[in-house]
Amino acid sequence: MKLFWPIEMGFEQAIEEINMNSTFTPFDKEVLLFTQALSKTLVRMRQMPEVVALGYWLRKANIQEMKVKWEEQNKERFIKPRGTVFHIAPSNVDTIFVYSWMLSLLAGNRNIIRVSGKGHSNVLLDLILTELAKPEFEKIAKQTIICTYNYDEKFGEMISEICHTRVIWGGNDTVQTIRQIQLNPMANELAFPDRFSLAAISAEAVLNLGENELNELLDKFYNDVFWFDQMACSSPRLIAWCGKQHEKAKVRFWSAFENKVKNKRYELMAATQVLKYTTSLWLSTETDVRDIENGKYFSRVHVVDVPIEARERHCGGGLFFEYDVEHLSDLSKVIIDKDQTLAYFGFEHSTLQVLVDSISTRGLDRIVPIGQALNFDGVWDGQSFLKSFTREVVII
């Protein structure tokens, strides 16, 4: 067990005392000031674009907009925070725990956060701890515990007993493991298991782009794919090419993208190169795979169907499944429960709606333009955080 916050007492005392502190009302002033202060610090971290994105999300205007929307939705309702929210953060998308925590804090809750033990980016945590230590945020500080521990230690059990909401980030194994830990019967739970994401590109739209526009599109696509080494669950792993001129569009898109990755100086690693090579060869033994192409910066696997195994074998690091359809709605037959985000380029809103309408599985929770695949939002995997982090008291 390593306790990052509080600093003046031990974990067990902190756990005992946390529920004695009263909660905030949703969008409390102190909380708003805290998010603004944090935003200012984080947007300065230029060398960490994902932290800048987090800081940008926390900026005053965005939070204000969220507040206005929330107030509109809850007019004449009596909404209270749940109480204490237990966040179990993923190990590698190191900004997720902050989004999860901030939304819970905005809802008014006390928060206990288990960050990953790996912590190779403690910069973010250190910045947060500095803000938390400031006297003007004393009330928030008293309602916050940030720690890390091994799962064989029994701290997860202790926290699960006293929390009112449990949030599990981090894949199927984590969700299964944590779910074996008894949860306070009064608590609700949000779980974020493994997901798979894709992009849909209109071949004709790509061919109609000017050089500058294509470059812009590739910049956005690069961010969606490589910010988290294609390992974020919302990073596109399958590219669906729609239209008629598939091959022509692919040649244009991929050759330009190769230059893009090269110019971005994306850091390649030997183990990832071997892994992509291995995975593509492994996949090539399946009848659903038509051909494979291994390049220095990425590998392409042309598929004629997308079974769940193919999704599970995906290794990240720049491996693209490619699937050709004539109409976007044809994509609906391969969408499965696991599919989360569709990043698109070159489609009208109505065409996207037709697609969503024709999907019969649980698949697709987000449909966003290419470039916004990683943008975190108050609604994720189909659930609204502010809703799940609050409760409505009925007074008649």
Partner 1 sequence: MTNPYHLTKAEKTPLLLEKLNVLTKFHVSQSTEYRSMIEKGGFQITANSLEEVPFLPVQLFKLLDLVSVPKEEVIKVLTSSGTTGQQVSKIYLDKETSIAQTRTLVEVMKPLLGAKRLPMIILDTKSILKDRKSFSARGAGILGFSNFGRKHFYALNDDMSLDVEGLKTYLEEYKGERILLFGFTFMIWQYVFKESIKQGIKLDFGDSILIHGGGWKKLKDEAVDSSVFNQLLHDQLGIREVHNYYGMVEQVGSIFVECSKGHLHTPQFADVIIRDTLTFEPLSHGRQGLIQVLSELPKSYPGHSLLTEDLGTIIGEDDCPCGWKGKYFTVAGRIPKAELRGCSDTFQGGARA
Q: Which is nearer to partner 1, 21 or 177 (CB)?
A: 177
Torsions phi, psi for 210 (to 5 deg) = -75, 165
Question: 315 and 339 in contact (C-beta within 8 Å)?
Answer: no
For the bound state, the minimum distance from the C-beta of residue 55 to partner 1, rounded and expressed in Å, comes to: 19
Please give the Cα distance from 279 to 313 (Å, whole number): 7
Please give the Cα distance from 289 to 305 (Å, whole number): 8
Q: Which is nearer to partner 1, 56 or 151 (CB)?
A: 151
Please give the Cα distance from 43 to 36 (Å, whole number): 11
Of 174, 184, 340, 341, which lies in the binding site for partner 1, with binding defined by CB under 8 A?
A: 174
Coil, strand or helix at 331: helix
Question: Per CB under 8 A, which of residues 212..231 are in contact with partner 1?
Answer: 228-231
Of 26, 81, 83, 90, which lies in the binding site for partner 1, with binding defined by CB under 8 A?
A: 90
Using the contact rule CB under 8 A, the part of the chain among 167-175, 179-187, 237-245, 363-371 near partner 1 is 167-175
Of 15, 18, 38, 89, which lies in the binding site for partner 1, with binding defined by CB under 8 A?
A: 89
Question: Per CB under 8 A, which of residues 281..300 are in contact with partner 1?
Answer: 281-282, 284-286, 289-294, 296
At position 272, the amino acid (one-letter code) is T
Return the structure tokens found at 275: 């892994």
Question: Per CB under 8 A, which of residues 118..147 are in contact with partner 1?
Answer: 118
Site for partner 1 (CB under 8 A): how many residues? 56
Specify the DSSP element, H or E, that contains 173. Answer: helix 171-179
Of 51, 98, 206, 233, which lies in the binding site for partner 1, with binding defined by CB under 8 A?
A: 233
Using the contact rule CB under 8 A, the part of the chain among 164-172, 180-188, 240-248, 377-385 near partner 1 is 164-172
Of 278, 353, 361, 383, which lies in the binding site for partner 1, with binding defined by CB under 8 A?
A: 278
Cα three-residue angle 172-176-179, rounded to 5 degrees? 135
Of 108, 316, 346, 363, which lies in the binding site for partner 1, with binding defined by CB under 8 A?
A: 316
Q: Which is nearer to partner 1, 24 or 169 (CB)?
A: 169
Which of 382, 365, 384, 362 has its CA nearest to residue 373? 365
Of 71, 157, 173, 392, which lies in the binding site for partner 1, with binding defined by CB under 8 A?
A: 173
Which of 319, 310, 221 has its CA nearest to residue 274? 319
Please give the Cα distance from 71 to 65 (Å, whole number): 10
Of 31, 51, 66, 93, which lies in the binding site for partner 1, with binding defined by CB under 8 A?
A: 93
Q: Which is nearer to partner 1, 93 or 128 (CB)?
A: 93
Three-state SS across 32-81? HHHHHHHHHHHCCCCCCHHHHHHHHHCCHHHHHHHHHHHHHHCCCCEEEE
Binding region for partner 1 (CB under 8 A): 88-94, 96, 116-118, 149-152, 168-174, 177, 192, 194, 228-233, 268-275, 277-278, 280-282, 284-286, 289-294, 296, 316-317
